[in-house]
Amino acid sequence: MNRMLSCLLLALMSFAVQAEEINVSARLVARPCTVDTDTVNKTVELGQGRASEMKTAGAGGEWTDFELLLTKCPAATVGATVTFSGTPDDDDATAFKNSADATGIALRLASRDRATTYQNESTMTQTIDTAAHTATFPLSARMFSPKGNPTSGQFAAAVNVSFTYQ
């Protein structure tokens, strides 16, 4: 009788087991391009400007050309976008604020042909060179006086860049 009761209990217990389905999902992304070592913590030297040459509003120093470079981009990556961020100038929100002691002066960031001005949260998109697996962002920068009559002193402005890939 004990043996029959044990078999009956095991049979009842096996009916209590229920199979469940487990769903697993993931997202596969391509590795990003490599930011060139010269682009990481890039310093752009604007040289020495003269306050006397920037007396009128909008006057500025000489343009300095520079590049941001991405290398080793995956074959499937066709484009890259850089987003510029920094503190806008108090007198001209389309420029970046000078954090040093000269007053009335700001940083103007533009495309190499100077047709497009970049400000806080602006973006620039470039196509990836599929043969070289690189992307080059040609830019220009200069000091300028939004309202005119800047004071002499030191100039420094910081612009952060972040890259996204297509």
Strand intervals (E) in 78-128: 79-85, 96-97, 106-111, 117-118, 123-127
Nearest in space to 154 (alpha carbons), one of 107, 103, 108: 103
Q: Can you give the pTM of this predicted structure?
A: 0.80
Q: Name the band, by pLDDT with cuts 50, 70 and 90, for residue 21.
A: confident
Distance (Å, rounded) from C-alpha 121 to C-alpha 146? 20
- Write the class of the CATH domain 30-165: mainly beta
The residue extents of the domains of the chain are 30-165
Q: Name the band, by pLDDT with cuts 50, 70 and 90, for residue 12.
A: very low
3-state secondary structure of 54: helix
Q: Over the stretch 48-104, which tens digit does the pLDDT of each residue have?
A: 989 999 999 999 999 999 999 999 999 999 999 999 999 999 999 999 999 999 999
